[in-house]
Homo-oligomer: A and B are copies of this chain.
């Protein structure tokens, strides 16, 4: 734990080698990456972190803008005396990674954006507001407003048992009004976010990774984002929805591990 503007920030460090920082999606915490710790910390230094209003980090008392999370990341770098690192962000964490790369470009060696987009469109703002409405009710309503749009229909069907089993610990978390209030603040913190016109400033080699059937972050937005980041490539995980880290975990981990560790970029073609 370290302190950012008087708020405790929880982080975890595993292994040694080239540094990888994983930034959570909105409903996630450091706990969500449990299965990834061993593979990704083998030969690398892996950092997990709960952002403000996430997991074991401090809760906020009122509204804020998403870019404060980029400052948290920078403070963590200072705290750990990390000059530069590879940053991988998932969904909400990808937006924060974009903001971090724009505000602290020298810190970013390589950038991986999973299921992210470069602005909060009117459409996704209303999706977020529908989550906020459901959050007023209870954990079950919140679960139903978020989970089906996150997972692909196929995953939902074939992994029905896994999803049902997982409800035994997810629903109690969601039932906690403190958790739902934090998620609502996180959701609202993204309103107004728009760096579409600044993507050309990003010079770090960047990998954009999409789920083919992502119903939450439109693939068209990710294609556009990749086309505007000059040193980028765009990869699509076939058959996966928004939940790529669960729906296509082996490919997810392979892409991250390979992109971060491959010593030299082959060819000059984009």
Q: Which residues of A come within 8 Å of B, CB atoms?
A: 35-36, 38-39, 42, 121-124, 126-127, 129-130, 133-134, 136-137, 140-141, 144-145, 147-149, 151-157, 159-160, 162, 205, 207-208, 210, 212-213, 215, 218, 220-221, 223, 226, 233-239, 246-259, 261-267, 269
Contacts and interface: CB of A to CB of B under 8 A. Distances in A.
Copies in the complex: 4
Contact of A266 (B123, B226, B249, B258): B249
Contacts of A247: 269
Mostly, the A contact residues are helix
A153 B254 contact: no
A39 B263 CA distance: 5
Contacts of A137: 133, 136-137
A153 B218 contact: yes
A260 to B, nearest CB: 8
Given A122-B160, A154-B220, A269-B159, A253 B262 contact: yes
Contacts of A153: 121, 123-124, 218, 220-221
Contact of A250 (B39, B218, B252, B265): B265
A122 B156 contact: yes
B249 A267 contact: yes
A210 B251 CA distance: 13
Contacts of A259: 250-251, 254, 258
B126 A263 contact: no
